[in-house]
């Protein structure tokens, strides 16, 4: 007998919605295939005019409440801080990679982001045997992996990595604010906000600014001319 497609009403049932929200399905399938340590990796800081790009790599415990880990951009700073601490409490395996602005200028932001993810994986206490990567590019490591566009909304492990990366980078930018308070890095995190652009116009760039980025490179072109 041909099975009927679920009706619109059926699609709103709790079980159907729970299945839709299953952000551990990639990990679960990989564990079923025999992998023993599936990690998610993501980066933060591709768009700023200043500061590093930061990546994290996370292996979640298979029995954790994975639904609480969401795309870091959809969470408040307080919730991100809480979840980053919670990952430590539940024994998640975490690695962090940081690529500074000089290397970003030398490589370009895409390659710097992939390098930060590679560093994050290499800095883990326990190495994964499969990587889930946010975006459409794979990390330059000899490891089975799958790139997932919008992965931070589809994989709890990638979402957890996005949270750790965001909390880590924000903390770094707040520290940089103490060195260069004129740019308000503690609030704009190096992104090209109106106040950041005004500060650049008044003070020019500092050593943390990315010389290859539009909005900063013009200052160096003026000097060289």
Residue by residue, pLDDT tens for the chain (225 residues) are 333 433 333 333 333 333 457 999 999 999 999 999 999 999 999 999 999 999 999 999 999 999 999 999 999 999 999 999 999 999 999 999 999 999 999 999 999 999 999 999 999 999 999 999 999 999 999 999 999 999 999 999 999 999 999 999 999 999 999 999 999 999 999 999 999 999 999 999 999 999 999 999 999 875 444
Is the CA virtual torsion 137, 98, 190, 210 positive or negative? negative
Flag whether 203 is in a domain.
no
**Which domain does 163 fall in, by range?**
23-177
Note the pLDDT of residue 60. Answer: 98
Token couple for 95: 């690695």
Token couple for 5: 């497609």
CATH number for position 79:
3.30.420.10
Note the pLDDT of residue 220. Answer: 87
Flag whether 197 is in a domain.
no
Rounded Cα distance between 93 and 62, Å, is 12
Flag whether 54 is in a domain.
yes
Residue ranges of E strands in 86-216: 93-99, 130-134, 145-148
Flag whether 184 is in a domain.
no
Q: How many domains does the chain have?
A: 1
Helix (H, G, I), strand (E, B) or coil at 40: strand
Flag whether 6 is in a domain.
no
pTM: 0.88
Q: What are phi and psi of 42, to 5 degrees?
A: -155, 160
Residue ranges of E strands in 100-203: 130-134, 145-148
Flag whether 112 is in a domain.
yes
Residues 6+ apart with CB under 8 A from 36: 129
Residues 6+ apart with CB under 8 A from 207: 101
Flag whether 16 is in a domain.
no
Flag whether 190 is in a domain.
no
Q: What are phi and psi of 63, to 5 degrees?
A: -100, 15
Note the pLDDT of residue 221. Answer: 76
């Amino acid at each position: 007998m041909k099975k009927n497609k679920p009706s619109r009403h059926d699609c709103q049932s709790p079980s159907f919605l729970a299945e839709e929200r299953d952000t551990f399905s990639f990990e679960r399938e990989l564990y079923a295939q025999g992998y023993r340590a599936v990690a998610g990796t993501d980066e933060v800081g591709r768009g700023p005019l200043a500061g590093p790009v930061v990546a994290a790599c996370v292996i979640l415990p298979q029995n954790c409440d994975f639904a609480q880990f969401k795309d870091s951009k959809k969470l408040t700073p307080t919730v991100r801080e809480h979840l980053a601490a919670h990952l430590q409490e539940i024994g998640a395996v975490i690695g962090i990679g940081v690529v500074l602005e000089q290397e970003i200028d030398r490589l370009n932001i895409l390659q710097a982001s992939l390098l930060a993810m590679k560093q994050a994986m290499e800095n883990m206490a326990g190495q994964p045997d499969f990587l889930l990567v946010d975006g459409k590019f794979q990390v330059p490591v000899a490891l089975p992996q799958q790139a997932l566009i919008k992965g931070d909304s589809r994989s709890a492990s990638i979402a957890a990595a996005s949270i750790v990366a965001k909390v880590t980078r924000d903390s770094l930018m707040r520290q940089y604010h103490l060195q260069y308070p004129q740019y308000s890095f503690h609030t704009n995190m190096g992104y090209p906000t109106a106040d950041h652009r005004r500060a650049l116009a008044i003070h020019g760039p500092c050593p943390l600014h990315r010389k290859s980025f539009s909005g900063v490179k013009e200052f160096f072109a003026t000097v060289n001319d």
